[in-house]
Amino acid sequence: MPANVSPEYATAEKEYLQANSLEDKIEKLKKMISFAPSHKGGENLRAQLKSRLKRFRTELESEKKKKGSSGKKGIRKHEMQASIIGLTNSGKSTLLSLLTNQETEIADYRFTTKEPVLGTLKHKGCDIHLIEIPAFESEFYDKGVVNISDTVILLIDDLEQITEIIEDLDKAIGKKIIVLNKIDRLSENKKRKIRETLKSKYRKYGFALISCFTQEGIEELKEKIFKSFDKIRIYTKEPGKELDKEKDKPMILEPESTVKDVAEKILKGFSKQVREARITGPSGKFPEQKVGIKHKVEDLDIVEFKTK
């Protein structure tokens, strides 16, 4: 955080870091600019913020043009994004509802979902964006969204469905989790055999057995989805202030990230302003350990900065 800023600016900056949509980021950025220091030393900061605001507005305008030209609902890529795919009536809408509390249309007839449906899974301080993709065999199936998702959840109710779907995922970059639904209809012996089959034939994929009806396995699935992203969570706080993990959301970073990466995610160029950094957490030897800018952070570290 820049030196000599007001509490109002600090609050606005925290709201900006927690913003998800481009529209929300623009509004929070405008608020930051209004509370940015007006003295000469704050000129660079104000210039950086205004430049970023201009870039975001250009991106938003570009997105609106694309939506208008294609007629399709635009989906912005998020830091942690997973697609739910499967054949019609496999339980995709019900699963999305269970994972995210998202109200979705659920029916017995074919192809209920005609466009991607979005929801947010809140797990261990993170917002994981889930997208229910229209049925795999329908004309509404959106392969483009699936291909760029960080994780792809293959929801099936029969093992024979796996081959048909997985052959179409050759360009999907994300990790795959095979999820067998409707296990409330199966005996324990049958479930055991299915687990063994998945372990032997699909060992490179994750898998889970669930029932959307009884909700068996849902909490285990949430954890598997979370771990599939292979990210670390880093909290930041102001020196002398307490961190509230119930309210303060962590930054999402790649493993092997450094203190410099944390600083740069707060604000581009901010690492050059850091005079001192302290770590409390798994990567530190003791609370509030003073560390250098190249120090590697670990999951659930708490970082605080003092600026020049």
* CATH code 3.10.20.30 for 231-308: yes
Kindly list the domain boundaries of the chain, sorted by start residue: 1-70, 81-228, 231-308
Domains 1-70 and 231-308 are alike in CATH topology: no
In 215-258, alpha helices (H): 218-228
Is domain 1-70 in CATH 3.60.40.10, yes or no?
no
pLDDT tens for residues 92-106? 999 999 999 765 544
pLDDT digits (tens, 9 = 90+) for 142-192: 888 999 999 999 999 999 999 889 988 989 999 999 999 999 999 999 999
Contact 149, 81 (CB under 8 A): yes
Which residues lie closer than 8 Å to 11 by C-beta, 6 or more apart? none
How far, CA to CA in Å, does 83 sit from each of 116, 148, 153, 221? 9, 9, 6, 14
pLDDT at position 2, please? 54
pTM of full prediction above 0.85: no
E-assigned strand segments in the chain? 81-85, 117-123, 126-132, 151-156, 175-180, 206-209, 232-236, 251-253, 274-280, 289-291, 301-307
Whether the pLDDT of residue 30 is over 90: the answer is no
Specify the residue for token string 């294609």: 70
Which amino acid, 159? L
Residue 201 in tokens:
């034939």
pLDDT confidence band for 222 (50 / 70 / 90): very high
Ordered strands of the 175-180 beta sheet = 117-123, 126-132, 81-85, 151-156, 175-180, 206-209
Find out if CATH 3.40.50.300 is the number for domain 81-228.
Answer: yes
Q: What are the pLDDT digits (tens) for 48-85?
A: 888 888 888 788 767 756 655 444 456 777 889 999 99
Q: What percent of the chain has pLDDT over 70?
A: 90
